[in-house]
Amino acid sequence: MIKIIIMALIGGAIGWITNVLAIKMLFRPIKPIKIPLFNLKIQGLIPMRRNEISKSIGEAVEKELVNISEIFDKLVTAENKKEVIDNIKLKVVASVELKIPSIIPGSIRGKIVDYIGDQIEKESGAILDSTIDDFTERAIERINIGQMVENKIDEFELEKIEEMIIKLSAKELKHIEILGGVLGVVIGLIQGMIVQLF
C-alpha cells in the first residue's frame, strides 16, 4: 500500500512539474539557445512564432472584430450629419447676410437668405453623403487595421506579452498545473496497483 501511495505522489509531482514547465516553455527561453552537439535550437513557442502570431491576430481583428466601414458607420450618424449641415447653413447664411448690399430692401434680403438656407438644406445632405463615402473608400485603401495591430504587437517586449497573458489567464494556467498533478496521481495509482499485482 505504501508503494502505491509513493508512486501516486511521485506521479502527481511529475505531472504538476511537467505542466508548470510546459507553461513556462510557451514563453521561455525568449532568445534561442543553441545546442551544437545535437544541432538543436531551443526557444519558447511564442517568441519563436511571434511574427506569425501577431500577423494572425492582426488579420483576425481586421476581419472579425473591427473594420474601417464600421468605424465610420458609428462615427457618422444621422445626428452628426444634421449637426454638420446646421453649422454649414448657419455660417453660410451669416456670411451671405453680411455680403448683401444694404441698398437691397430687408424683405428681399430675407428671401435671398431663406432661399440659400433652403438650398443648403436640400443639397448638403447628398453632398455630405458623397463626401463621406469618398473619404471612407480612401480610408479603407490607406488604413490597414490588421497591419496596425500586427505592428503594435511586434513593438511589445516579449516579457510584457508574457506578463499580460499570464495576468489574463492566471486562473486557467493554475488549473492546468493542478490538473497535471491530479492526472499524475491517477497514473501513479494505476502504476502502483499494476506493480502490486505483478
Structure confidence at residue 13 (pLDDT):
92
77 DSSP assignment: -
Q: Pick from 166, 150, 169: which is nearest to 50 by CA?
A: 150
Indicate the pTM of the whole model.
0.56
Tens place of pLDDT per residue across the chain (198 aa): 788 888 888 989 999 999 999 888 888 888 888 888 778 888 888 888 888 888 888 888 888 777 777 777 777 777 878 888 888 888 888 888 888 887 878 788 888 888 888 888 888 888 888 888 888 888 777 888 888 888 888 888 888 888 888 888 888 888 998 999 999 999 988 888 887 777
Domain boundaries, the chain: 2-197
In the chain, at which residue ranges do the beta strands (DSSP E only) sit?
A: 33-35, 40-42
CA distance 80 to 84: 6
Contacts of residue 19, defined as CB under 8 A and 6 or more positions apart, other chains included, come to 176, 177, 179, 180, 181
Question: Residue 15 corresponds to which amino acid?
Answer: G
Peptide bond into 32 cis (omega under 30): no
pLDDT in tens, 7-54: 888 989 999 999 999 888 888 888 888 888 778 888 888 888 888 888
pLDDT of residue 47: 85
DSSP class of residue 51?
Answer: H
Distance (Å, rounded) from C-alpha 177 to C-alpha 22?
9
What would you report as the CA-atom Rg of the chain, rounded to the nearest whole angstrom?
A: 34
State the pLDDT at residue 36: 80
